[in-house]
Structure 1
Amino acid sequence: MQRSRSDIDDRYQWDLTTIYETPADFDREYQRADTLVDAISDELDTPPEGSATLVTLLERFECLTAARTRLECYAECSRTIDLTDDAARDRQDRTRSLAGEVDGLTSDVRRYCRRHANRLADLRTESDALAPFERFLENAVDGPAADPSLRSLLETFGDVLDGHDRTLTAICDEDFEPPIVEGSDGDPVAVRWHNRVQLLKDPDRDFRRRVYEAFHDALDERANAIATAWTEKLRTRARVAEARGFDSIREMGLSKASYPKTGIHLSGPSAVHDTLLETVSENLEPYHRLQRRRRIHLAVDEFRPWDRHVSLTSRAEPTISYEDACEYVLAAVEPLGVEYRTRLEALLEERRVDVYPAADSRDVTYCLSASGVGPFVSLSYDGSVRALFHFAHELGHAMETDLRADVRRPLYETTPRPVEEVPSLVHELLLADHLLDNGDDALTAHVLNRRLDAIGGNLFGAAQSARFTHEAAMVVERGDSLTRERLDGINRELHSEFRPVEEPAEYTPSAWLARAHVREPYHNYQYVLGAAGAVSVYEALVDSRLSVEDYRTFLQFGGTKSSMEQFAHLGVDVTAPTPYERAATWVDRDVDSIEGNRSDAAP
């Protein structure tokens, strides 16, 4: 039974008054933003008369996008902490509606820049007043040519176009009743989205099977609804991609707005997506070897889906207090400099982390950011090693947000999608390094397992999910029917390629149901790039090929550099196979370490 939020000390809860002192302040900014949408839209009917006029337009648009980040952050956080709060639901619905209008306006602003590109070029040479907006204007002019009807489509039907996401959220989250199974000690255990992986680490194999089957039984009851909603989501994205001038869902997905949305689209080339999928598929042996090692460790004839998360050590997993978790992470980031650690410590003291799950709250882990305010982390901390690393991961995002705000105006307080997982996974690798050097034996044995999950899961697991999405999207784009059976078939083939050691179970073909379908298609590749990029960056920092100062510069680029420029600054060529191959060798090396260190058996 989860405790009530009122039973959790305030210091472990968000202080959302740093965004808005009261809900009434939210309402006032919402009204100002709503009015600003119409005002800016009216200004787009007239060509820019001079640089001052254009600067005013862009400054007003920048104010709107900054307000949007605050409204979205407050609405999402309020909804996360209390799913029963009707006022919070209303704020979230209103914010989503406004976001659709802002998305439509953003398309209009970018199209306005393209339509008047020659005039803008003249104004940029005549005056330095537009210099702060140089990158935004270049990005807008270079974007794809959208259908003029797109604004009307997004503004009139934007809420409907996002309806599939609300359906998926309701089915998989808000209306999902966690199944109850009998625990190893005979007590009832609720299987939730957020705790199921941790439950599947339990040494009791019968309990793990009950957890796996109960969770997938519950999903199977919703399978047709999930399949229908996700298929319609892909079809909708295909139509929107065509309207926006993209050749495919993938091209649009790789060019989606950076986060937070400020009107900048910093795309990743399709060739990079091809390279990472091909290279990972050609280097699966370390992943297969990891599966074989788990089967040997468990001493089972058949390795099953409920065995894949079991630790490769027999030592009991320690429980880590939140206070100890903070100290571990702060010590781990010391190689990034005293100022970096001090900034992180300040964030932790400002109640930026909502630490523990509570009754009627969402069990989610994420980091949101609000312009002019900073980051907010949802943690659902349970004291496990996995939760400790999730904490470090989200703080990597938080620190990028915090450092970026020092030097970037609101329009550039955003991160290209292809690079956004690098800082978070660098944090995980630094934490693993610190704990392997300084932790006790029981903890370090589990840390090595977690590093395998961090690199192996993000490299191989995310690549498998990325392949699934890509193949499903291509079915839709060919005009073929994408049924639940078709989706099961795609997943069955990928399972045999990525997990040949694992004997399929009844729900193996439909395991795709447990993925994060509420997110945009083509998001998984970011985690593959994150794993490959983080390994390369970590090695370069250790070898002094990349200085701490240059790494901090990368964290502060924001929307001023493309993703490929940012990777180049780090010395990582993601267009070549090498980074992915290097990450695969890390998995191989860690399996070597485990096989060579069998002294971790329980005393």
Structure 2
Amino acid sequence: MSGVPERSEIDAAYQWDLESIYESDEAWEAAYEAVSERVEELRAYEGRVTEDAATLLEFLELREEILREVAQVTTYARLRSSEDTRNQEYQAMSAKGSSLSSEASSATSFVEPELQSLSREEVEAMIDAEPGLETYEHYFDDVLRMKPHTRSAEVEEVLADLSEVTDAPSEIYSMLTNADLTYGVVEDPEGEEVEITQANFTKLQTKPDREFRKRVHETFYEEWAGVRNTVGTSLEKAVRSHVTNAEIRGYETAREAALDGTNVPTDVYDNLVDTVDDNLDALHRHAELKEQALGVDQLESHDLYMSLTGEEGPDVEYEQAREWVIEAVAPLGEAYQERMREGLDSRWVDVFENRGKRSGAFSSGTYDTQPFILMNYQDDIASMFTLAHELGHSMHSELAGDAQPWHDASYEIFVAEIASTVNETLLTHHLLETLEDDELRTHVLDEYLERFRSTLFRQTMFAAFEQEIHEVVEDDGALTPDAFDEIYGDLKGRYYAPVELTGGIEREWERIPHFYYNFYVYQYSTGIAAAAAIVDRILDEGDEAAADYRAMLEAGGSDYPLEVVREAGIDMAQPEPVESAIRIYRDYLDEIAGLLDLE
């Protein structure tokens, strides 16, 4: 039986270097105890923050000192727990870290209501009186902007204390799907048993044997059927918490509340969904090309991840992938490229899947640490693109951390998903330009088309689903597993009109953790649209455009997302980036159709 190794069986060279944060779990415990005792120092400023400029600066500097250490403690524990979700010691550490983070948030919850008791003129006078406050100008502007939606200090403290409770649906879902749930075992075409995991499901859906893909698909979603009531309840509670929080803060909808947190107009969301909906014929053509390429009478759900080449792509081992990714980012400048290489040599990446490891991939870290990338590398082209994606996030953090003070370094997801996708797009261009192997080039082109499909179209479909399920609750409706199935199935049917939906695909909503993240997924779609425009500009204009893009990365969170992206010469308030990205998708579909002699 093909199985997943234990973590102890994986070479340390392919594991991230968490000892760079704390040399041991005992050192973490000591740091945890020390910073836990300091959190109460913050409460001493309650009611005093705005008494004068010197006191305000003193508080802000103390808050930074303590919260930076809290971030270290919580990040280390969370990353350790991600290594093996079965490890109860690390799960307990992660829970302690989460509680500490909530406690620190509660201990500082008074500051924004107190600042909002001031007028803009009074805040400006305090800045004039204390020059050290000048670096906080964007922070002050953001706080004052949210004044209509911030409640009293007492209510804000209660809301902060409740964060552990309101986060519970997501945490329960994570433990269920990563630690407790198994996804079945199937027999491959050679007669060997293969264990299905969240990490390998998509790869198994690219295997050439259609009956095998069907068995994998049906087995996987049958396992989800067994927990549909649990997952349905957890998602319903998450949606209700989003809606309730929006109501408490005086918003008309949960979506408005979620987007206002980053000052992104809901028009950007509507523009995305409407523009994609108007161009679903491009996605339909992709599906029709797959049907031709596979030589089947009717494309079904288990065929959607298949390559247009009709076969599994060539293996790409990790060492080769990292070299290609490094080469691909050369247009961003030598300093960017070398810093990425140094990071990979410094064990930024936890590379391979192990039993109990959290599924998927992410980039994490703090202002004071190196980046840490979790992967479940599968020796394929898709994993290579995921590596490029996560390195985009990590390099973003590095450049923003260098250029900005702590309070302005953290960037919004809206910008983050551009940085990651720029790397993917550069990788595509590099490989199509340099590879002499026509088969590999075709697979790279196909991979980009797949990632475009699954990012722009699929994530926009998720965004539409998220909006619909929140509207049900806002209209006093009931969200049951059947309701989720119906809403999701209808959307899937419209987006993939040429496909016969089979094998329990209407339950796909159960396996998407992003639905717990409160209107998060649309930013993947806006990200790939902006990335396509940025890369076109860099390839056309060279160093000047690359410098503008690096300026965007260096800006971090020093301005609102739409303004930060404008640093790179892109206006996401307009439909053009989305329309332009879809035109590129159409062109690539034409190109691969010609290469494969498809209509």
Q: Same fold (TM over 0.5)?
A: yes
In the TM superposition, what whole-angstrom CA distance separates every residue of 1:424-454 from its partner, at most 9, and x where no partner exists?
1110011111111222223211111111122
Q: Distance in 1 between matches of 2:355 and 2:49?
A: 54
After superposition, residues 68-467 of structure 1 pair within 5 angstroms as: 68-117=70-119, 119-143=122-146, 144-148=148-152, 149-256=154-261, 266-314=262-310, 316-439=312-435, 440-467=437-464
Q: Which of 62, 65, 69 is the equivalent residue of 1:63? A: 65
Q: Distance in 1 between matches of 2:87 and 2:187?
A: 31
Q: Distance in 1 between matches of 2:132 and 2:415?
A: 30
Higher mean displacement: 542-551 or 91-100? 542-551
Question: If the length of structure 2 is used for normalisation, what is the TM-score?
Answer: 0.95
Does residue 483 (structure 1) correspond to residue 488 (structure 2)? The answer is: no
SS at match of 1:279: helix
Could you tell me which residue of structure 2 aligns to residue 538 of structure 1? 535
Counterpart residue identity of residue 561, structure 1:
D
Could you tell me which residue of structure 2 aligns to residue 497 of structure 1? 494
Query: Aligned pair in 2 of structure 1 residues 296, 150: CA closer, same or farther (>3 Å)?
Result: farther
Q: Distance in 1 between matches of 2:21 and 2:336?
A: 24
SS at match of 1:193: coil
TM-superposed CA distance for 1:105, in Å, is: 4.1
Could you tell me which residue of structure 2 aligns to residue 596 of structure 1? 594
In the TM superposition, what whole-angstrom CA distance separates every residue of 1:309-357 from its partner, at most 9, and x where no partner exists?
0001145522112111111011101111111111001101111101111
After superposition, residues 40-51 of structure 1 pair within 5 angstroms as: 40-51=42-53
Query: Aligned pair in 2 of structure 1 residues 170, 421: CA closer, same or farther (>3 Å)?
Result: same
Q: Distance in 1 between matches of 2:150 and 2:14?
A: 46
Q: Is the 8 A contact 2:294 2:310 kept in 1?
A: no
Q: Distance in 2 between matches of 1:286 and 1:81?
A: 40
Q: Is the 8 A contact 1:146 1:243 kept in 2?
A: no
Q: Distance in 2 between matches of 1:274 and 1:103?
A: 32
Q: Distance in 2 between matches of 1:355 and 1:226?
A: 29
Q: Distance in 2 between matches of 1:151 and 1:49?
A: 20
Q: Distance in 1 between matches of 2:87 and 2:504?
A: 35
SS at match of 2:372: strand
Q: Distance in 2 between matches of 1:114 and 1:35?
A: 28
Query: Aligned pair in 2 of structure 1 residues 479, 35: CA closer, same or farther (>3 Å)?
Result: farther
SS at match of 1:523: coil
Q: Distance in 1 between matches of 2:242 and 2:312?
A: 46
Q: Distance in 1 between matches of 2:592 and 2:35?
A: 55
TM-superposed CA distance for 1:3, in Å, is: 2.1
Higher mean displacement: 103-112 or 164-173? 103-112
Q: Distance in 2 between matches of 1:243 and 1:39?
A: 29
SS at match of 1:379: strand
Q: Is the 8 A contact 2:110 2:157 kept in 1?
A: no
SS at match of 2:143: helix
Structure 1: gaps (5+ residues) = 257-265
Q: Is the 8 A contact 2:388 2:420 kept in 1?
A: yes
Could you tell me which residue of structure 2 aligns to residue 261 of structure 1? none
SS at match of 1:326: helix
Q: Distance in 1 between matches of 2:60 and 2:161?
A: 24
Could you tell me which residue of structure 2 aligns to residue 558 of structure 1? 556
Q: Is the 8 A contact 1:44 1:109 kept in 2?
A: yes
TM-superposed CA distance for 1:517, in Å, is: 4.5
Counterpart residue identity of residue 398, structure 1:
S
Q: Is the 8 A contact 1:325 1:388 kept in 2?
A: yes
TM-superposed CA distance for 1:418, in Å, is: 1.4
TM-superposed CA distance for 1:89, in Å, is: 0.8
Could you tell me which residue of structure 2 aligns to residue 263 of structure 1? none
Does residue 509 (structure 1) correspond to residue 506 (structure 2)? The answer is: yes
Higher mean displacement: 225-234 or 433-442? 433-442
Query: Aligned pair in 2 of structure 1 residues 150, 189: CA closer, same or farther (>3 Å)?
Result: farther
Does residue 20 (structure 1) correspond to residue 22 (structure 2)? The answer is: yes
Q: Is the 8 A contact 2:178 2:357 kept in 1?
A: no
Higher mean displacement: 432-441 or 101-110? 101-110
Q: Which of 539, 549, 552 is the equivalent residue of 2:547? A: 549
Q: Distance in 2 between matches of 1:225 and 1:94?
A: 25
In the TM superposition, what whole-angstrom CA distance separates every residue of 1:204-236 from its partner, at most 9, and x where no partner exists?
000000111011000010111111110011111
Q: Which of 581, 594, 599 is the equivalent residue of 2:579? A: 581
Query: Aligned pair in 2 of structure 1 residues 68, 502: CA closer, same or farther (>3 Å)?
Result: farther
SS at match of 2:504: coil
Counterpart residue identity of residue 369, structure 1:
G
Question: If the length of structure 1 is used for normalisation, what is the TM-score?
Answer: 0.94
Identity %: 28
TM-superposed CA distance for 1:42, in Å, is: 2.6
Could you tell me which residue of structure 2 aligns to residue 11 of structure 1? 13
Higher mean displacement: 309-318 or 454-463? 309-318
Q: Distance in 2 between matches of 1:465 and 1:299?
A: 29
Q: Distance in 1 between matches of 2:413 and 2:10?
A: 35
Q: Distance in 2 between matches of 1:30 and 1:82?
A: 21
Could you tell me which residue of structure 2 aligns to residue 567 of structure 1? 565
Q: Distance in 1 between matches of 2:38 and 2:263?
A: 28
Counterpart residue identity of residue 519, structure 2:
Y
TM-superposed CA distance for 1:157, in Å, is: 2.7
Query: Aligned pair in 2 of structure 1 residues 126, 49: CA closer, same or farther (>3 Å)?
Result: same
Query: Aligned pair in 2 of structure 1 residues 463, 155: CA closer, same or farther (>3 Å)?
Result: closer
Query: Aligned pair in 2 of structure 1 residues 349, 302: CA closer, same or farther (>3 Å)?
Result: same
| CA RMSD after TM alignment | 1.8
Query: Aligned pair in 2 of structure 1 residues 384, 56: CA closer, same or farther (>3 Å)?
Result: same
Moved over 6 A (4+): none
Q: Is the 8 A contact 1:297 1:312 kept in 2?
A: yes
Query: Aligned pair in 2 of structure 1 residues 32, 111: CA closer, same or farther (>3 Å)?
Result: farther
Structure 2: gaps (5+ residues) = none
Q: Which of 28, 32, 37 is the equivalent residue of 1:30? A: 32
Higher mean displacement: 99-108 or 589-598? 99-108
Q: Distance in 2 between matches of 1:372 and 1:540?
A: 33
Could you tell me which residue of structure 1 aligns to residue 526 of structure 2? 529
Higher mean displacement: 586-595 or 356-365? 356-365
In the TM superposition, what whole-angstrom CA distance separates every residue of 1:382-421 from its partner, at most 9, and x where no partner exists?
1110001000100000110111111111112211221110
Query: Aligned pair in 2 of structure 1 residues 394, 272: CA closer, same or farther (>3 Å)?
Result: same
